[in-house]
Structures are given as C-alpha cells and as structure tokens.
C-alpha cells in the first residue's frame, strides 16, 4: 500500500501501521481514512499529504 507524507511536518502515514491512537486501524489505506482526520503531529488535514516517492 502507498505511504503518504505530510508536506508541512514530514509525518509519514504508513497504511501497515495506521494511526491507532486516532482511530485508524492498521491496514487502512490512506484513501479510506475519514476526510476529517488530521495529521497526528501538526494537525493539518488530508489535503496536505502527498504520495511518498
């Protein structure tokens, strides 16, 4: 699965890990995360994330 990077802070969302502290189970694709989810580091929305190269 594709990893995504938060451009402002560099946090990497890895679908294998998810974001369990914020209700995102491991194995959840970035596209399947609710639109109101925010970066756990800087609080920015999904719109600032880009696919990792």
State yes or no: 9 annotated in a binding site: yes
User: Do the beta carbons of residue 42 and residue 6 sit within 8 Å?
Assistant: yes
State yes or no: 6 annotated in a binding site: yes
State yes or no: 3 annotated in a binding site: no
Cα three-residue angle 27-40-32, rounded to 5 degrees = 35
State yes or no: 39 annotated in a binding site: yes
Binding residues for Fe cation: 6, 9, 39, 42
Binding residues: 6, 9, 39, 42
């Amino acid at each position: 699965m594709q990893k995504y990077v938060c451009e402002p802070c560099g946090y990497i969302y890895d679908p294998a890990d998810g974001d369990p502290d914020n209700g995102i189970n491991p194995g959840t694709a970035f596209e399947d995360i609710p639109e109101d989810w925010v970066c756990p580091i800087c609080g920015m929305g999904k719109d600032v994330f880009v696919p990792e190269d």
